[in-house]
């Protein structure tokens, strides 16, 4: 028996009226995802460590009619994350979507990298994911109103940006590959904790290199780095931040209610070559 409803199809990608919290909002991808949610009708709380950049984003977004606010926080600092969640709820009443877009890397050979530098990468890319997801997930659980609302996707959506480097090693990336691989496994485990019991879907997207201030140099078609990438990029180019907007919206909407614990390949085919 066909049970699909027209109303579901018409609205399955909608996040209108939802509250989306975006970490790393001042970064290239964080900004794109925050604006994507805003254009789609969500109320957006942006966070990062640079208040000046956050204020610029707020002004830019509001000029385009996006309902938004910002709260300064270091995602690896438990007390600051707790305050961030509180500020979001005070502003918008709840949190329905979490998009974790922050990250850090300092490539070095293991023989040259200090333990302190390695630990900083782990804290920035793995511990911080745990802290943010823990506090937001608790808020999502607290705002459930009875067992009737504990259905797949109805408790909330958590989306974490990891990397295709979570699947493959790379010289100089003993910190980054480890942190992103750990984040993927953490997401799988969080899904086991949160999805069936609380209706919270938890997924990751694993992009390849995308354009940002830090990666712009890789986009020179004449460079050896770019040419090496093209040997393993079936899609024929490196990524732009907006290439991930649709995937993020999908994983934040009812269209993805049966997807949880997934580390979704967004590498332009890099991982299949």
Per-residue pLDDT of the chain (273 residues; tens, 9 = 90+): 668 889 989 899 999 999 999 999 999 999 999 999 999 999 999 999 999 999 999 999 999 999 999 999 999 999 999 999 999 999 999 999 999 999 888 889 999 999 999 999 999 999 999 999 999 999 999 998 765 557 666 899 999 999 888 788 888 888 888 889 899 999 999 999 999 999 999 999 999 888 988 888 889 999 888 898 888 889 999 899 999 999 999 999 999 999 999 999 988 888 787
CA atoms of 178 and 155, how far apart (whole Å): 30
Confidence at residue 151, expressed as pLDDT on a 0 to 100 scale:
67
Confidence at residue 136, expressed as pLDDT on a 0 to 100 scale:
98
Token code pair at residue 7: 């109303």
pTM: 0.94
In angstroms, how far is CA 19 from the centroid of its own chain? 15
**Does the active-site annotation cover 198?**
no
75 to 28, 96, 166, 239: CA distances (angstroms): 17, 18, 20, 26
Confidence at residue 170, expressed as pLDDT on a 0 to 100 scale:
83
Q: Which of 176, 198, 247, 270 is catalytic?
A: 176
Token code pair at residue 70: 């910002």
The strand order across the sheet containing 43-48 reads 68-72, 43-48, 19-23, 97-100, 156-161, 200-207, 263-266
Confidence at residue 104, expressed as pLDDT on a 0 to 100 scale:
85
């Amino acid at each position: 028996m066909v049970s699909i409803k027209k109303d579901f199809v018409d609205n399955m990608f909608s996040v209108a009226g939802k509250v989306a919290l975006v970490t790393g909002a001042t970064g290239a991808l964080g900004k794109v995802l925050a604006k994507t949610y805003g254009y789609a009708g969500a109320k957006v709380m942006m966070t990062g460590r640079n208040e000046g950049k956050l204020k610029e984003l707020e002004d830019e977004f509001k000029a385009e009619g996006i309902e938004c606010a910002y709260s300064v926080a270091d995602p690896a600092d438990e007390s600051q994350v707790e305050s961030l969640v509180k500020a979001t709820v005070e502003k918008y009443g709840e949190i329905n979507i979490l998009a974790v877009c922050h990250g850090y890397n300092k490539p070095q050979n293991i023989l040259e990298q200090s333990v302190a530098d390695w630990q900083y990468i782990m804290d920035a890319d793995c511990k911080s994911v745990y802290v943010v997801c823990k506090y937001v997930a608790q808020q999502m659980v607290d705002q459930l109103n009875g067992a009737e609302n504990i259905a797949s996707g109805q408790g909330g959506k958590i989306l974490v940006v990891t990397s295709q480097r979570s699947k493959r090693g790379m010289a100089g990336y003993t910190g980054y590959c480890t942190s992103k691989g750990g984040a993927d496994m953490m997401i799988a485990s969080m899904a086991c904790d949160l999805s069936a019991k609380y209706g919270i879907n938890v997924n990751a997207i694993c992009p390849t290199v995308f354009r940002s201030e830090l990666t712009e140099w890789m986009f020179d078609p004449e460079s050896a780095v770019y040419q090496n990438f093209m040997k393993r990029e079936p899609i024929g180019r490196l990524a732009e931040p907006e290439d991930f907007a649709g995937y993020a919206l999908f994983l934040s909407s009812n269209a993805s209610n049966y997807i949880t614990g997934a580390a979704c390949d967004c590498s332009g085919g890099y991982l299949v070559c």
